Amino acid sequence: MKRSVFRDYDQAELDRQYDQRAWAPNAIELINRYGADSAAVRTRTGEPDRYNYGGTRAECLDLFRTHRTPAPVHVFVHGGAWRLLSADDSAFPAETFVRAGAHYVALDFAPLPQVPLDLMVDQVRSAIAWLHRYAVQFGGDPDRIFVSGHSSGAHLAAAVATTDWKARFGLPQDVVRGVLCCSGIYDLEPVRLSARNDYVQLDDTLVETLSPLRHVANLRCPVAVGVGERESDEFKRQAREFAAVLEEHGVPVEMFEGAGLNHFEIVTTLASPAGLLGRIALHQMGLSLG
């Protein structure tokens, strides 16, 4: 008899649930496309401004400026299982936001295993704090910072949204005005029990500290949370349960599912104002869909 490790999953099935490449035969093609499409955007728009937001070489961000000021700021936190991809691979949605009148920011941060996950979360939070403090200097509106994230980046975006900003940075609790979390993990306990923990290195303390679902009392903004139709059952459950807990705490929440889309396809819809994520993000920011 197979032994259940988490819910009704044995070890092999739990590992499969948290390996999205097992559910998407075109995963490698799409991951490569992120970088190619991002390079094409930089060719059309010019290179972004690059800033250090922290004290290490990894703590940098790419800023694509819009034509109007002061403008809202949309920050994209890339995925990659906490260990792959970069800001270079994350420029592909920039034109959607720049044309709509928002600055677009793609984050870099140190990957696993170069740093532990708690330090990675702190780096992303520090990037948002930096943007709030310096927004006026680059023509941004510090009162209109929005964050989106995909896959492990959705976990990081949700961790940002559930930050105790006053305690950690001495900033207002509503630093982030809206969050879009796509295909993310919001309770890390099953990750701790899966094969991924060989490199994520979670223990009970880190699961408690870094699981956004357990810190929703800190949220002060609307959240859109969703998943692709062709993702694993566990990723769908994570989205549903995060949305349900948000609703229970009175957080304005929008739940969505990308019809016919897998884990790696759905994020590409952020690159079009007519795409699923593009529409949601622009609507959240109060910007035109044109």
Distance CA 24, CA 262 (A): 6
Question: Domain range holding 181?
Answer: 11-285
pLDDT score, position 289: 63
* Domain membership flag for residue 35: yes
> Looking at the domain assignment, is residue 270 inside a domain?
yes
The whole-number pLDDT of residue 1 equals 58
How many other β-carbons are positioned within 10 Å of the β-carbon of residue 243? 21
Write down the pLDDT at residue 161: 97
Question: How far is Cα 238 from Cα 271, in angstroms, rounded to an integer?
Answer: 24
**Among all chains, which residue has been given the structure tokens 């702190």?**
122
Whole-structure pTM value:
0.97
Is residue 270 within 8 A of residue 278, CB to CB? The reply is yes
Q: First CA to last CA across the chain, in angstroms?
A: 57
Question: One-letter amino acid identity for 94?
Answer: A
239 contacts 225 by C-beta, under 8 angstroms: yes
Within a domain: residue 87?
Answer: yes
Task: Give the residue from 181, 170, 184, 286 showing the smallest Cα distance to 235.
Answer: 184
How far, CA to CA in Å, does 128 sit from each of 99, 155, 201?
22, 15, 25
The answer to whether residue 232 sits within a structural domain is yes
10-residue mean pLDDT profile of the chain (290 residues): values are 89 97 95 98 97 97 96 98 98 97 98 98 98 98 98 98 97 97 98 98 98 97 98 98 98 98 98 97 86
Q: What is the pLDDT of residue 2?
A: 75
Determine the Cα–Cα distance for residues 244 and 198; give it in Å rounded to an integer.
30
- Report the domain count for the chain: 1
Residue 123 lies in a domain: yes
CATH code, 251: 3.40.50.1820
Instruction: Establish if 6 belongs to a structural domain.
Output: no
Partner residues linked to 145 by β-bridges? 73, 176
In a domain, 5, yes or no: no
